[in-house]
Structures are given as C-alpha cells and as structure tokens.
Amino acid sequence: MTREQILQVVRATPSVGAARHEEFADYVVALSQRKKSEDGWQTTEHAYMTVDGKLAMANQDHARQNKRLDFHTPHILVDNDEQLTLLVTVTSELYGSRHGIATSRRIGGSEIERLFPWEVAETSAMGRALSAMGYGLIPGSGLASAEDMMRASSVTGTEGRPGVEAPPRAAPAANVQRATNETRTTYSRMHPPLSPVQRNKLTELWRLLHPESAEQVNEGLDRLFVESFKHGINEATYEEGARLTGQLLSKLRKQTNSPA
C-alpha cells in the first residue's frame, strides 16, 4: 500500500465531528494479512491507525468544539499469572460514554505485554473506546488499532487451519509508506517509527525525572535509546518508544511515591 493509497483510504473515511481522518494520516500504517480461501492463501492489506493517532484526533475534535473528553480510571476485570484485562471508559460531552476492553498476555504474549502489561492493556482499551466513538475507524480495520494487530503477529499456529485468518505478516521495508511529506527512514510494516506524540511524552517524562538537565533533553533521550537499543531516537521504532515510555513512567511513579 503506497502513501497515495493510504491517503485515498483516509480521505474516504468519514470525519468525526470537527476532525477529519486525513489530518491524522501520519498515524496510519498499512499491515498485510493472509486469509485462507478456496484458491489458497490470499494476502490483503488494510490501513490501521495507532492509538496515539486516535487520541490526537479525539483531543483535536473536542478542542475545536470546546467540549470535554474524560478518561476514567481503568477497571480491572482479570489479573492473574496468565493475563491482565482492563476496561477503560471514555466520556465525551459530544458523544456520551464508550468503553474498551483489552488484555495483556503475561504468558504467550509479546515482549512488551510481558514487561508492561498495565500500560499495554490500558492503551489498547483506550484505543478501542475511541474507535467506538468513530476515531480511526477506517473501513476494513474494525476496532483494532495498529498496535493490536502488531501484537497479534506474536500468535502462532493459525496458518494452515481452514477458515482461520493468520496474523499480520511483515512485508519488505521498502514497501512501507507513511502518509506524510517528510523524508524519514523506511521501516518494516510490523515496526512503524516513533510517533510525534510518543516523542513529546518521552520529552515530558525526561524533564520531570531530570529537572537539573532539562535543557539537554534531546541529548539525554538520544543517549537512553543508544544504551537500550544501540541506536539514537531518530531511528527508534514505535514499540521501542512504548517500552522506554513505560520504563520512565515506572521510574517517575517510584520517585513520586518514595519518602522524602
């Protein structure tokens, strides 16, 4: 799916209130899927919006209409050695209340699910609630976010079973197009780049944790990515950003809750 094809898809997706999906096309990635049919396995591509894209779109819509958008404290549905399942409710002055439910698999899940189950489940549930309001609800993608579909790729053993849709497959990096005019590194479909919202969140967390060196935030974050992943922040992927965001949030909580 080319950049122009992604733009065509989001242009055809209905607006939500005062926000158009085309404005947030940079948060949309194309993922390939394989499905069993009478003619064998067929590969199709669908466009998915990331959760931070849905959040950015929702915030913009409500800001333009001067209305409130509230995210309630997650409700724990299941919390055991195998999984964490959360329910998140989002309340809008425009559209009422919607909820999303998501699970982090502590056994058999992706690495980020196992390391940061709460953050993954909360973010995914939030994305589903926003999808229920219409944000990022791109034809063919359903309520799933790009992150949901990428984590689904860690599920194995489905290919070859009649009528079972296989998880998304990575395609050559050269085929990946982000809907943006910027020149940026090409990434595998399963590894989209760090988003602008993630970068802003990492910057905010770094400044809170290191107020004495707030002016060196770019150097500090770049060093952190090099230490963690052997490359700087400009080459970071979305999942790497999510992982370090979780680590910095954990440090901030410990710092905030520690006795003076």
**Within 10 Å of residue 43's Cβ, how many Cβ atoms?**
11
Fill in the DSSP letter of residue 86.
E
Q: Which of residues 193, 211, 236 is at a domain's end? A: 193
- How would you write the pLDDT of the chain (260 residues) with one tens digit per residue? 788 888 899 999 999 999 999 999 888 888 877 777 777 777 778 889 989 899 999 999 999 999 999 999 999 999 999 999 999 999 999 999 999 999 999 888 888 888 889 988 999 999 999 999 999 999 888 888 878 887 776 544 333 333 333 333 333 333 333 333 333 333 334 456 777 777 888 888 888 888 877 668 888 898 999 988 888 888 888 778 888 887 888 788 787 776 65
Tokens of 51: 């959760």
Nearest to 99 by CA among 124, 63, 67: 124
Whether residues 110 and 180 share a domain: the answer is: yes
Instruction: Please report the DSSP string for 82-142 in residue order.
Output: SEEEEEEEEEETTTEEEEEEEEEETTTS-HHHHH-HHHHHHHHHHHHHHHHTTTT--TTTT
Tell whether 156 and 228 lie within a shared domain: no
Check residue 192 and give its pLDDT: 65
Q: Is the dihedral of CA 215, 221, 226, 232 positive or negative?
A: negative
Check if the beta carbon of residue 190 is closer than 8 Å to that of residue 150: yes
Q: Are residues 225 and 130 in the same domain?
A: no
- Give yes or no: residues 91 and 179 share one domain: yes
Answer yes or no: do 210 and 123 share one domain: no
Q: What's the confidence (pLDDT) of residue 37?
A: 73
Residue 201 and residue 131 share a domain: no
Q: What pLDDT score was predicted for residue 36?
A: 73
Domain boundary pick from 160, 177, 193: 193
- What pLDDT shows up at residue 260? 52
pLDDT at 174: 32
Last residue of a domain, one of 149, 178, 193: 193
Domain identity same for 137 and 221 = no
84 and 211 in a single domain? The answer is no
**pLDDT at position 259, please?**
63
Euclidean distance between the first and the last CA atom of the chain, given in angstroms as a whole number: 54
Judge if 189 and 199 occupy the same domain. Answer: no
Shared domain check, 82 and 64: yes
| pLDDT at residue 150 in the model | 78
Element (H, E) at 71: strand 69-71
Does 209 lie in the same domain as 100? no
Are 186 and 213 found together in one domain?
Answer: no
In sequence order, what are the beta bridge partners of 218? none
Residue range(s) defining the domain that contains residue 202: 194-260
The domain tally of the chain equals: 2
